[in-house]
Structure 1
Amino acid sequence: MSDVLDDLRRYPDLEAPNLHAVDATDRLVLDEAAPALAALADTPDGGVVVIGDRYGALTLGAVARHGVAGVRTHQDRLTGERALHANAERLGLGGFTTHELGLSLVAGARLVLLQLPRSLDALDEIAALVAEHADPSVVVVAGGRLKHMTTAMNDVLGRHLGTVEARLARQKSRVLVASHPRPADERPHRRWPERAEHRDLGITVCAHGGAFAGTSIDIGTRALLAQLDAVPLADGAAVDLGCGTGVLAVALARLRPGLRITATDESAAAVASARATVEANGVADRVDVVRADAAGTLPDASVDLVLLNPPFHVGAAVHDGVARALFADAARVLRPGGELWAVWNSHLRYRPALEGVVGPTRQVARDPKFTVTVSTRRDARAPRTGRARPGADTDPSQESP
């Protein structure tokens, strides 16, 4: 009989011969947890929770290999969640439900299978939820690649669970097994989302553990914030694309009260953080926060303004594919004449890509680290004229070679 793990795909994420839906950590976690999974297979709801499953290997492995029912799962990335459901439908598997990171996910859990997050804050939030709401007998089997693991992860788990054991490594992966939730008076009293006031900007930022930059405001966002006064639009529809904790959406809503703003992100932690940030700053009546793949929920040619501070990493690698996909989606949702205001790392030289995908692009600010540009959506019927004519607003280093 074939192993379900051999049949999993990454779709709708990027697929290629050298990109895999299952890695050594998935297999090691399932192998280490096999006795516990087998013991929980005979009950309608075995109390099994899966967190951080990339493409469904842990969830569907528990269901198909061990017959576990009622698995509760949470994935931060929307792409991963969609891949899990696509794999389950293609293979005719069920036996799981999807939850937000909260009480409904972990209440009464007896076994938690976890792909260790890179962020220690994200791990702290997960461990705190498990210690507070899981069954006292809960066991957490948490796996990661050795190159991304640190002893600080043991310490974070140990703040909330009294026993943490590191198991032998295999194929450059290792599992930590944690159990015995600490009493409430022995656990940290950190509460999520955290809040921080940025008095220089008059903005309160709220952040869950998995949100990029936490309650701080990264310098790229600050570079774009410094230019928002120049946005000419007074009313209409705007999008904060890849909104993170929602700082740009809040600032724009305050500067331009006539705008209706949609803030989107595929990260569940980012969306939960942005919703809290929007509420904390009193602009929830003008900002809708939506979990979406880029601007996937918005119709073509439906908005007048897009703000974008794109990521330039995919995992640990520098990669421009995500940013270029976001440029294309911005172009799709912008009306002709609408503007994309973007900030990006100066060394990445995105201006030719913006010219080609969106339309004429001018530079409004630049320093050695960040460039802020405004791209005007060309009429889809208009011919492309090549790169912009060099002028006072053009930095030659941004031109195509």
Structure 2
Amino acid sequence: MEFPFDVLRRWPDVEAPDLVAVDAADRLILDVSEEARRDTAAGDVVVIGDAYGALTLASTGPGEGIRVHQDSLLGERALAENAATLGMAGRFHSLPLSAELVREARLVLLRLPRSLDALDDIAGLIARHAHSAVRVYAGGRIKHMSLAMNDVLHRYFGRIDVSPARQKSRVLIAAEPHDGRDPEPRRAQIDDLEICAFGGVFAGAGLDIGTRFLLESLPEKIGDDALAVDLACGSGVIAVTLARQHPRLRVHASDVSAAAVASARATAAANGVADRVEVIQDAGLSSLPDGVADLIAVNPPFHTGAAVHERLAHGLFADAARVLAPGGELWTVWNSHLRYRAALERLVGPTRQVARNAKFTVTVSRGR
């Protein structure tokens, strides 16, 4: 029976007519791996990078046991919602990117990440802990693939086959694992800050120019025992900088990405402030109550997967407005062409420009 792909939704991630829950690459991975999936017990199957559940749910039979890792908390929640809609809850286990996820796995379905470092972390982990007979079906849209991905897979697998292209998608099939490794954060010393980043985190173990511009603009004085928030924290640079500059400041950092959370925790530990920087995986600031933050800093993402969509940032602005204490401030840096000021005025409160250069604008919005 044909799987009902049209039932799948992206919710609670951004939904719009031009954003889909399943695409041609998902379907091609499933088709190319069909025989292997049929011949592999559910407990030996792992799915990594499934956007909203298409790979997992279309591979799930009446039993239990498929192991799943999705970097985005929104993807994990969408998978759970789609499973409930289809009466398939409880047939898979969501796990971190760890040895437990891939131990003795014989079949891995992988939606290729756009980051080569992320692919390196995943491929190394599989090669170290999966069964020696494992086969990895790694697919994506051709426009987001590169020959460098083959090179990464060749570091850890002796054989790479390539499927024919279909609907602008392709699958790489890896076998014969060797020389695997567990993921370790990349590290870089920038100024007096040590930045740690696992694969796939925005800007990696570096300091992007937007975040640097925001850091240069933040207020020098913040009240003792205030609560500052690094929203969409990435590698945790803002949170750690605030904690180091203001020893009595309480700092909360959150990101929807598991890799970002692991990176921010590593950055906080490397700079000696892990005891004062709380880092959690969260969709926005849902773990914080209303009206508690004195300062929120954000360099908002505007990509959801490979798509650009302004509603992603708008959702973060609305969440920040809820969490800000009366008179608290949201400090935002954004590519000037995005013109976020009107949205900030509407969603948060009075907004003024603090700094602007050839590419970026920094604003501060005061909570109502």
TM-score bracket, shorter-length normalisation? over 0.9
From 156, 159, 162, give the equivalent of 1:163: 159
8 Å contact 2:43–2:67 — kept in the other structure? no
Where in structure 2 are the equivalents of 1:198-237 lying within 5 Å? 198=190, 200=191, 202-237=192-227
Other structure's SS at 1:46 match: helix
For 1:83, the equivalent position in structure 2 comes to: 78
Q: In structure 1, what is the Cα distance between the partners aligned to 2:16 and 2:189?
A: 44
8 Å contact 1:229–1:255 — kept in the other structure? no
8 Å contact 1:119–1:209 — kept in the other structure? yes
For 1:351, the equivalent position in structure 2 comes to: 341
Measured against aligned partners, the alpha-carbon deviations of 1:278-333 in whole angstroms (never above 9, x if no partner) come to 11111111111010111111111121110111123334444322222111111110
8 Å contact 1:12–1:79 — kept in the other structure? yes
Q: Percent identity?
A: 60
Q: In structure 2, what is the Cα distance between the partners aligned to 1:91 and 1:231?
A: 53
For 1:173, the equivalent position in structure 2 comes to: 169
Q: In structure 1, what is the Cα distance between the partners aligned to 2:104 and 2:21?
A: 29
Q: In structure 2, what is the Cα distance between the partners aligned to 1:86 and 1:259?
A: 38
Q: In structure 2, what is the Cα distance between the partners aligned to 1:2 and 1:128?
A: 34
Aligned amino acid, residue 194 of structure 1: R
Q: CA offset at residue 257 of structure 1?
A: 1.6
Q: CA offset at residue 339 of structure 1?
A: 0.7
Q: In structure 2, what is the Cα distance between the partners aligned to 1:280 and 1:232?
A: 24
User: Is 1:127 the equivalent of 2:127?
Assistant: no
For 2:54, the equivalent position in structure 1 comes to: 57
User: Is 1:194 the equivalent of 2:186?
Assistant: yes
Q: In structure 2, what is the Cα distance between the partners aligned to 1:114 and 1:32?
A: 12
For 1:97, the equivalent position in structure 2 comes to: 93
Higher RCO structure, 1 or 2 (CA under 8 Å, sep 6+): 2
Which of 1 and 2 has greater Rg? 1
For 1:34, the equivalent position in structure 2 comes to: 34
Q: In structure 1, what is the Cα distance between the partners aligned to 2:277 and 2:63?
A: 41
8 Å contact 2:102–2:125 — kept in the other structure? yes
Q: In structure 2, what is the Cα distance between the partners aligned to 1:340 and 1:240?
A: 10
User: Is 1:258 the equivalent of 2:248?
Assistant: yes
User: Is 1:338 the equivalent of 2:334?
Assistant: no
Question: Residues 348 and 262 from structure 1, CA distance in 2 versus in 1: closer, same or farther, beyond 3 angstroms?
Answer: same
Q: In structure 1, what is the Cα distance between the partners aligned to 2:308 and 2:189?
A: 31
8 Å contact 1:37–1:68 — kept in the other structure? no
Aligned amino acid, residue 15 of structure 1: E
Where in structure 2 are the equivalents of 1:362-373 lying within 5 Å? 362-373=352-363
Q: In structure 2, what is the Cα distance between the partners aligned to 1:222 and 1:239?
A: 17
8 Å contact 1:62–1:68 — kept in the other structure? no
Deviates more, 1:21-30 or 1:316-325: 316-325
User: Is 1:5 the equivalent of 2:9?
Assistant: no
Deviates more, 1:225-234 or 1:28-37: 225-234
Question: Residues 190 and 292 from structure 1, CA distance in 2 versus in 1: closer, same or farther, beyond 3 angstroms?
Answer: closer
Q: In structure 2, what is the Cα distance between the partners aligned to 1:347 and 1:273?
A: 29
Other structure's SS at 1:239 match: strand
Q: CA offset at residue 149 of structure 1?
A: 1.1
- In the alignment, structure 1 segments of 5+ residues that lack a partner are 379-401
Measured against aligned partners, the alpha-carbon deviations of 1:324-382 in whole angstroms (never above 9, x if no partner) come to 2111111110011101111111222222222222112222211111111111112xxxx
Q: In structure 2, what is the Cα distance between the partners aligned to 1:322 and 1:8?
A: 20
Q: How many residues align?
A: 367
Q: Output the aligned Cα RMSD.
A: 1.7
8 Å contact 1:244–1:274 — kept in the other structure? yes
Aligned amino acid, residue 196 of structure 1: A
Q: In structure 2, what is the Cα distance between the partners aligned to 1:140 and 1:73?
A: 14
Aligned amino acid, residue 90 of structure 1: T
Instruction: Provide the TM-score with structure 2 as the length reference.
Output: 0.95
For 1:397, the equivalent position in structure 2 comes to: none
Deviates more, 1:221-230 or 1:298-307: 221-230
Q: CA offset at residue 206 of structure 1?
A: 0.7
- In the alignment, structure 2 segments of 5+ residues that lack a partner are none
